Amino acid sequence: MAFDGITVAAVAAEMRKEALNGRIYKIAQPENDEILITVKTADGGTRRLLLSASASLPFACFTESNKVSPMTAPNFCMLLRKHAQNGRITSVTQPGLERVIRIGIEHMDEMGDMKEKYLIIELMGKYSNLIFVDENETIIDSIKRIPESVSSVRAVLPGRPYFIPFTEDKKDPVSGLEKDDFMSTISGSSLSVIKALYGNYTGISPVEASDLCFRAGIDGNFSTASLSDTDTERLFDCFSSLISDIKEERFSPEIIYDDRGNPVEFAALHLSQYEDLKAVHPRSISLVLERYYAEKNRSVRIKQRSADLRKIVSTLIERDSKKYDIQLRQLEDTRKKDKFRIYGELLNTYGYSAVPGEKSFSCLNYYDNKEITIPLDPQKTALENAKKYFDRYQKLKRTEEAVTVQLKETKADLDHLLTVQASLDMAENEADISEIRRELIETGYIRGRGENKGKKKTEAGKPLHFISSDGYDLYVGKNNLQNDYLTFKIGNANDWWFHSKKFPGSHVILKSGKNPDSIPDRAFNEAGALAAYFSKGRDQSKVEIDYVQRKEVKKPAGAKPGFVVYYTNYSMAIAPGIEGLREG
């Protein structure tokens, strides 16, 4: 979710609760567009307030961590220290639902007079800024100076008057939300309901607008012209309830996660449209923002870190797929080798009756007692034609033998690369990426870096651990090295081993416990669903899963990581899922 007006309202409310009447103890500028303020709170505690005007990731929240600051403080930091350090925070306000927070600071000036100034945080994407103004709303300075050559609408320079940027005549729902006005605003246009909400009211993001429609039982993608009066009234009731929660500061911060554990959205108020996904509820909006952005950054960083491996693996898969198709066609071409052998044998047997210079020869095929016509080269004798056909037969036979071996090798390489690709999708941290990189180096797909030569191999990372509804331990390998470690180190002889029959995926071990003969069917089903979930077949309605006792699973000598064989097994077709399981 964007840092919308509702999130800003929650942050402002938390600032009032935690920092109002507190003293500004320290001011630092760890980044070019960040200010870190240490506040001695009214109750004697200490809180750090991080304000970021980053164009890509603007935010404001309390933080537990301290950031290293440059040895020489930047000019804006020095200015704030002069005018605000040791000052008292007298107010924290938000104009309407604008993405703006005004922090009032009472401070003694050089003449010993008490003055009130304002630090204004504008959280507006690439236009975000931190602006310091005096009691007359005159800009003292800003962390980003915006000259008229950059913005003809509003220059942000010392000595200029401060005003909130133009908001396209949007209405402020906090100052007054009248039913009749709402009904006339959200009706009769070609705009979608979602766009009409966030386009006409300040502080409402597309996600929040979509959630309002969901709660009202309306398809937000339909035009407002399609709404009945009853629909619009129901939407107004939901909107009015939302605004009441904001005014009364009844916030319920949450983070929504997808089924892979990646953060999808965050919100200051509950998002009803994500009921089918996992939600966590940290105790404050600051914890939500810190956790969400940290996890989002980690997710992005993992994807960036693995981008080179993804490209390499994708290229190798494409290359091997083409090679495999060519080899299949070559093998198909060798199917006619026996025809040439029969031609040669028949010419050796009946060739004495062939007329020199003829382009074909007909005789009885003693293999099926039917007449056959054999093409001939008129420039050669029957025996020379027979030799030519025997040579072609021998060549195709050699080709068949070679291509059969190559085909098996290419298929093994392709299957292995597909498992690596699946592992990259499952990677959760840099250790997982390092393991996959090591696997590719060990199997010769990529070259190892010089600095890694001679170093001891790191131990395989820890597989995922779940606990079934009946209390049985379930383990899932996240890559081929972990699969080997899981199957042959963690798994005991009487444990049960699960894997997708047709799709690349994880090895799953169901620990049998002390009574391997009394494992309930539900534990088997949950282990099978887990194996389907952590496979390339996750999007299928059902996936066929092979399962067998671990003692039946063998690893051939010289086999690639993750490759195993088994000669007897049970099978089940089951829907992918992790329902009923909890993380171990």
- Residue whose token pair is 């941290």: 429
- Are residue 9 and residue 132 in the same domain, yes or no? yes
Q: For residue 109, what is the domain's CATH number?
A: 2.30.310.10
Q: How many separate domains does the chain show?
A: 4
Burial call 73-90: b when 16+ CB within 10 Å, e when fewer: eeebbebbbebbbebbbe
| Contacts (Cβ under 8 Å, ≥6 apart) of 567 | 552
Residue 67 domain-assigned?
Answer: yes
Separation CA 485–CA 303 (nearest Å)? 25
Count of other CB atoms within 10 angstroms of residue 363: 16
Residue 454 domain-assigned?
Answer: no
- List the strands of the sheet with 263-267, edge to edge: 263-267, 254-257, 278-280
- Are residue 15 and residue 137 in the same domain, yes or no? yes
- Are residue 382 and residue 264 in the same domain, yes or no? no
Is residue 36 within 8 Å of residue 299, measured between CB atoms?
no
- Are residue 17 and residue 135 in the same domain, yes or no? yes
- Are residue 393 and residue 297 in the same domain, yes or no? no
Residue 328 domain-assigned?
Answer: yes
Q: What is the pLDDT of residue 522?
A: 93
Separation CA 44–CA 544 (nearest Å)? 62
- Are residue 403 and residue 472 in the same domain, yes or no? no
| Contacts (Cβ under 8 Å, ≥6 apart) of 136 | none
Type of residue found at 118: Y
Which pair of structure tokens corresponds to residue 81? 């220290």
- Residue whose token pair is 């923002």: 289
Among 81, 80, 89, CA closest to 39: 89
- Are residue 290 and residue 247 in the same domain, yes or no? yes
Separation CA 469–CA 390 (nearest Å)? 67
Separation CA 135–CA 472 (nearest Å)? 66
Residue 230 domain-assigned?
Answer: yes
- Are residue 56 and residue 130 in the same domain, yes or no? yes
Among 127, 131, 121, 126, CA closest to 153: 127
Is residue 109 within 8 Å of residue 17, measured between CB atoms?
no
Is residue 541 within 8 Å of residue 514, measured between CB atoms?
no
Residue 437 domain-assigned?
Answer: no
- Residue whose token pair is 């390998």: 477
| Contacts (Cβ under 8 Å, ≥6 apart) of 325 | none
Separation CA 331–CA 309 (nearest Å)? 32
- Are residue 281 and residue 317 in the same domain, yes or no? no
Separation CA 189–CA 224 (nearest Å)? 6
What 352-359 contacts at long range (C-beta under 8 Å, 24+ apart), as own/partner pairs, is 352/382, 354/382, 356/381
Query: Element (H or E) spanning 459, and its range?
Result: none
Report helix, strand or coil for 31.
coil
Q: What is the pLDDT of residue 188?
A: 78
Question: Where does a domain end: 267, 302, 337?
Answer: 302
3-state helix, strand, coil in the chain (%, to 5): 40, 20, 40
Q: What is the pLDDT of residue 459?
A: 47
Separation CA 393–CA 340 (nearest Å)? 6
As a residue count, the chain comes to 584
Residue 164 domain-assigned?
Answer: no
- Residue whose token pair is 């499952």: 426
Among 121, 100, 125, 127, CA closest to 5: 100
Is residue 323 within 8 Å of residue 410, measured between CB atoms?
yes
Question: Where does a domain end: 392, 423, 454?
Answer: 423
Residue 447 domain-assigned?
Answer: no
Rounded to whole angstroms, what are the CA distances from 188 to 177, 183, 202, 234, 541?
Answer: 19, 10, 20, 16, 41
Residue 356 domain-assigned?
Answer: yes
User: Tens-digit pLDDT profile for the chain (584 aa)?
Assistant: 568 999 999 999 999 999 999 999 999 999 889 999 999 999 989 999 999 998 877 889 999 888 888 888 999 999 999 999 999 999 999 998 999 999 999 998 777 788 999 999 999 888 899 999 999 999 999 999 999 888 877 899 999 999 987 656 788 898 888 999 999 888 878 899 999 999 999 989 999 999 999 999 999 999 999 999 999 999 999 999 999 999 999 999 999 988 767 788 999 999 999 988 888 999 999 999 888 877 776 666 677 778 888 899 999 999 999 999 999 999 999 999 999 999 999 999 998 898 999 999 999 999 999 999 999 999 999 999 999 999 999 999 999 999 999 999 898 899 889 998 888 877 777 778 888 888 898 888 888 654 444 444 444 467 889 999 999 999 999 899 999 999 999 999 999 999 999 999 999 999 998 777 889 999 999 999 999 999 988 888 999 999 999 999 999 998 889 999 999 899 999 999 888 788 87
- The residue range of the domain holding 196 is 179-302
- Are residue 472 and residue 577 in the same domain, yes or no? yes
- Are residue 191 and residue 106 in the same domain, yes or no? no
- Residue whose token pair is 């959200």: 186
DSSP code of 488? I
Query: What does the H/E/C string look like for 355-399?
Result: CCCCCEEEEEECCCCEEEEEECCCCCCHHHHHHHHHHHHHHHHHH
DSSP code of 33? T
- Are residue 214 and residue 295 in the same domain, yes or no? yes
Decide the pairing of beta strands 139-142 and 360-365.
unpaired
Q: For residue 184, what is the domain's CATH number?
A: 1.10.8
Among 263, 179, 189, 212, CA closest to 6: 212
Q: What is the pLDDT of residue 298?
A: 66
